[in-house]
Amino acid sequence: MLSYIIEGNNKIEGTVKASGSKNAALPIIATAILNPEPVTFYNIPDIEDTRITLQILKILGCKVKVDSGKISISSQNMHNKTIPKELMHKLRSTVVLAGAILGRFKEATFSYPGGCNIGKRPIDLHLKAFKDLGVEIEEREDYIHCKSKKEMIGAKIKLDFPSVGATENIILASVYCKGVTHILNAAKEPEIQDLAKCLNRMGAKIYGAGTSRITICGVRKLKSSDYRIMTDRIETGTLLCAAAITNGNIKIENANPENLMNVLFKLKEMGCDISITKNTIALKSPRILKSVDIETSPYPGFPTDMQPIIGAVLTKAEGTSIIKENIFENRFKYALDLIKMGANIVLKEEENIIKITGKTDLKGETVSSRDLRGGAALVLAGLSAVGTTKVENAEYILRGYENLEDKLKVLGANIKLEKVDINAKES
């Protein structure tokens, strides 16, 4: 088991570079399955989630070469159409590999995906969309088998909710479809625009990504290509919040402020001084932060992935803040740990709301990550707390943040990753 040990109450100050986007990297790696020609991707973050995805690609028969952020993949000799259950359970986003395998081979076998335990997270919208494309689906207790007996034909697909994963899966599954596919009520997240850009560079014909109506005109083949993936907007937001919660001052390079506007507006409303250029964001925390209300919603609304992070910062804001989570039904577990650290938080579980009253001086405690972003929120709380904070189950955090420990150290944090040998503890 891995834990972050943090000696808190240090200001986060300095300049740091944002990494490549986790949520863009995963579907973009899936494009290498769709495209039998060799592809190269740059700026892929070296995190557990990308490592697992690449491991799956190797098992499927792809050749993968990793060279610090540059990843070359050839799926020419890919033979296996089944995603291994154990790896699929580790990571929810592996579900987009299904759309890519299906698009290439008209057949895919996979199981229900795992990932962060932040809600029910069904895949009904993905499967319904595959059916709309003419795919037959056999759902068993431990696997799902998808097969199209004939050529897959483009269709008009209306999503009941603008699901990010389902939109990506439909794009991947329909690139080679005969005719035109329309996705109505598509997700508009920047990661979807990045996926479409990457595929279009390979020769796909995808229009409207970033709007709620995406059109995919089927093509017969894709060509060899390279692509540099976008910056991680959630990592950027997390680092900005690390400065905000510690009364610090940060500049993030290689950032994309355009993708983070809703978060920047909220931080500004809290009193932070923010300046942006095309690819940098600087934040100076005020002496006293102000409370704000937040409601999560699909892009361009306030991102659910930033909700726990900003929740930690709001413990330091004067007044009462209300956060309403509208995307996932189980995303407030971190609040219990913040309460343990001294935060004044009331949970209204039935309404998916928390009420945070500050400002509180957090104190170091042993707390536990229960999901990726909730874990990161606890690290931020630890940075601002008086005394030592131990954030257990750091594995969750390592899934999504590249070199978090090193980046925070450069910015003045006293943080280290500690490995606990469970067997040694027991004996």
Question: How is 179-235 classified by DSSP, letter by letter?
Answer: SEEEEET----HHHHHHHHHHHHTT-EEE-BTBSEEEEE--S----EEEEPPB-HHH
Figure out which of the listed residues 34, 56, 87, 123 binds ligand UD1, where binding follows CB under 6 A.
Answer: 123
Cβ neighbours for 283, distance < 8 A, ≥ 6 positions apart: 240, 243, 244, 249, 250, 267, 272, 273, 274
CB of 71 to ligand UD1, least distance (A): 17
Catalytic residue of the set 62, 116, 241, 272: 116
Q: Does residue 333 belong to the site contacting ligand UD1 (CB under 6 A)? A: no
Decide whether 313 or 327 has the Cβ nearer to ligand UD1: 327
Figure out which of the listed residues 67, 79, 86, 120 binds ligand UD1, where binding follows CB under 6 A.
Answer: 120
Q: Does residue 214 belong to the site contacting ligand UD1 (CB under 6 A)? A: no
Q: Does residue 236 belong to the site contacting ligand UD1 (CB under 6 A)? A: no
Question: How is 98-123 classified by DSSP, letter by letter?
Answer: HHHHHHHHSEEEE-------SS----
Q: Calculate helix-pair angle for 164-174, 22-34, nearest 10 degrees.
A: 20
Site string for ligand UD1, 41-80 (x = CB under 6 A): ----------------------------------------
Look up 241 and say whether it is catalytic: no
CB of 15 to ligand UD1, least distance (A): 26
Residue 348: φ, ψ to 5° = -115, 85
The residues facing 80 across adjacent strands are none
Q: CA Rg, the chain, in Å? A: 22
Figure out which of the listed residues 125, 245, 264, 341 binds ligand UD1, where binding follows CB under 6 A.
Answer: 125
Residues in the chain: 427
Decide whether 120 or 149 has the Cβ nearer to ligand UD1: 120
> CA 291 from chain center: how many Å?
26
Q: Does residue 154 belong to the site contacting ligand UD1 (CB under 6 A)? A: no
Figure out which of the listed residues 126, 251, 266, 399 binds ligand UD1, where binding follows CB under 6 A.
Answer: 126
Active site residues: 116
Q: Rule CB under 6 A: which residues touch ligand UD1?
A: 23, 26, 92-93, 119-126, 161, 163-166, 187, 191, 304-305, 327-328
